[in-house]
Amino acid sequence: MKIMLIAPPYSKDQIFRKSMKNLGAVLPPLGLAYMAAMLEKHSHEVKIIDGPAMAAILNYSFEELKKDIIEFNPNLVGISASTSQMDHAKKALQIVKENNSGCITILGGALISADPNALLQFNDVDYGVYGEADLTFPEILKKIEAKEKIEGSEGIIWRENGNVKFLKPKTITDLDEIPMPARHLLNMKIYRPSPANYRRLPATTMMTSRGCPYQCIFCSKPTVGTAFRTHSAKRVVDEIEHLIKDYGIKDIQMFDDTFTLLPERTIDICKGIIERKLDIGWNCMTRVDKINIDITKLMKKAGCYEIGFGIESGSDRVLKLIKKGVTKDQIRRGVKLAKDVGIDVRGFFMMGFPTETREDVLETIEFAKELDVDVAQFMVSTPYPGTEMWEIAKMHGEIDDDWNSFTFYAPSKIPFTSKLLDQEDIVDLYKKAYRSFYLRPKFILKQLLSIRSFTDIQRRWIAAKGVLGL
């Protein structure tokens, strides 16, 4: 069968598209690439349309999408959409049905998994996919080819008498059963992380595990499953070597939620990189309570130059509220551990949680400066459907039903406000956080002293324009 997998393009005036251009971040759609690899494994012809990246770099539009649909003439179209992409997904689905009425359309992504009833809001979609679709999609295609009923299949969301029904899918326990992402179906030349997220080009992304066992209230993962599963250390090192040899990659951004959750696996990955003498730089994300001095030393030796920590807040009260499971003292120790071995630290901070006050946010800003992380990313607390925070937010304020405003980054419209922090307050604090952190003389001097090449100057200038809104 001919299958087209689509991440819908953004409108020309969409805030995130502008943000991607400013920050210089265009990342490959790993989820679609994994899916494409599974479908190719089952002998299907697959085409990927990475609308956001193509819109940002190549001015790709819905008109181009229409042409591609007509030319490829797929039997089935799968569209992946987050909450903020809802309207764009609707438009893409409409174009598919207008130009290929016999094509089966399937919607996947975070929104439909968190809230299966959202299927009722899409007139031009036939089915939804709940959670991970790696096993679901091939089974759907088998049933289509055998002319069997799709409704009632595991992982499928369908309509029945005006209601939505679904069955949760089987969980993939051994990620090594999934082929490496089908990067050959992507234009790899257009991708790169934000300048603050790489040291050398070409750079790309990887994901070596799925799932997260923690219960942070702002995360949707508890909704679709918390089981932590991994690629083996050998498979991870094999993929790194493949990226180096086939694409000339010199830098990798690991997209795992908690890269070091299994210490022995982390050690084996690092040893594999060292033993194969792979010339690669990389960064990752983890928790402050999931590293130790031995692991950080080995990570540094294996090419890790930065660890990202989800710090979120400088208030112990707020940390407890959001169920982060760590204290400020633990955060201080984790940041120090990384810095002591020469690994840079990226701190992720959030503001605007339910019941959070202006004083709480100011405490977070001061905590970021106290920690003196090398990169600070401040985000607006966003109550996505299906999260515990969504339910809490409904009790403590108002949630905007404009799905396009649901993004952590570059807020032009705040999706959640309360009596304690309104729209104007949050925007003011968001700008204050960035300017207060990055315009410190100490930080500016440190950046100047770390410059080693003209490329470093370029990266820092692009990053500065992005974070300061220049």
Q: Rounded to whole angstroms, how far apart are CA atoms 186 and 290?
A: 34
Q: What is the pLDDT of residue 297?
A: 98
DSSP 319-341: HHHTT----HHHHHHHHHHHHHT
Parse the chain into domains and list their residue ranges: 2-166, 192-468
> How far is CA 132 from each of CA 156, 173, 222, 395, 419, rounded to the nearest angstrom?
11, 12, 13, 31, 38
CATH topology of domain 2-166: Rossmann fold (3.40.50)
Q: What is the pLDDT of residue 24?
A: 59
Q: What token pair was written down for 106?
A: 């399937």
What's the rounded mean pLDDT across residues 412-433? 84
Nearest to 228 by CA among 282, 286, 186, 141: 286
Per-residue pLDDT band at 389 (split at 50, 70, 90): confident
pLDDT at residue 224 tops 90: no
Q: What is the pLDDT of residue 404?
A: 60
What's the rounded mean pLDDT across residues 1-17? 74
pLDDT at residue 8 tops 80: yes
DSSP 113-151: HH-GGGGGG-TT-SEEE-S--TTHHHHHHHHHHTT---T
Q: Rounded to whole angstroms, how far apart are CA atoms 148 and 301?
A: 54
pLDDT at residue 226 tops 80: no
Q: What is the pLDDT of residues 310-319, one digit of tens each?
A: 999 999 999 9
Q: What is the pLDDT of residues 320-353, one digit of tens each?
A: 999 999 999 999 999 999 999 999 999 999 999 9
Percent of the chain having pLDDT more than 90? 60
Q: What is the pLDDT of residues 394-415, one digit of tens each?
A: 888 877 766 665 555 555 567 7
**Second CATH level (architecture) for the domain 192-468:** Alpha-Beta Barrel (3.20)
**C-beta separation of 235 from 178 below 8 A:** no
